[in-house]
Amino acid sequence: MLSKKLIDHCKAKGWWFDDAFEDYQQAFSDLGIPMDSDFVEFFLHVEDSPTFLSRHTEIFQVGWFLVNSSYEDSIEAAREMGLPEEYLPLDDFQAEHGFFYNTRTGEVLELEAGPLLVDFLAGKVKPQYPDFNAFLEWYFELA
**Is the pTM of the predicted complex or chain greater than 0.85?**
yes
pLDDT digits (tens, 9 = 90+) for 103-129: 999 999 999 999 999 999 999 999 999
Confidence at residue 110, expressed as pLDDT on a 0 to 100 scale: 97
User: How many CA atoms lie within 13 Å of 70's alpha carbon, on the beta-carbon side?
Assistant: 3
Domains of the chain with bracketed CATH: 4-139 (3.40.1580)
User: How many CA atoms lie within 13 Å of 109's alpha carbon, on the beta-carbon side?
Assistant: 27
Task: Concatenate the DSSP letters of all residues of 44-75 into one string.
Answer: HHB-SSSEEEETTEEEE-HHHHHHHS-HHHHH
Which residue type is seen at 19? D
Q: What whole-number percentage of the chain has pLDDT above 90?
A: 92
Q: What is the mean pLDDT of residues 11-20?
A: 96
Confidence at residue 105, expressed as pLDDT on a 0 to 100 scale: 96
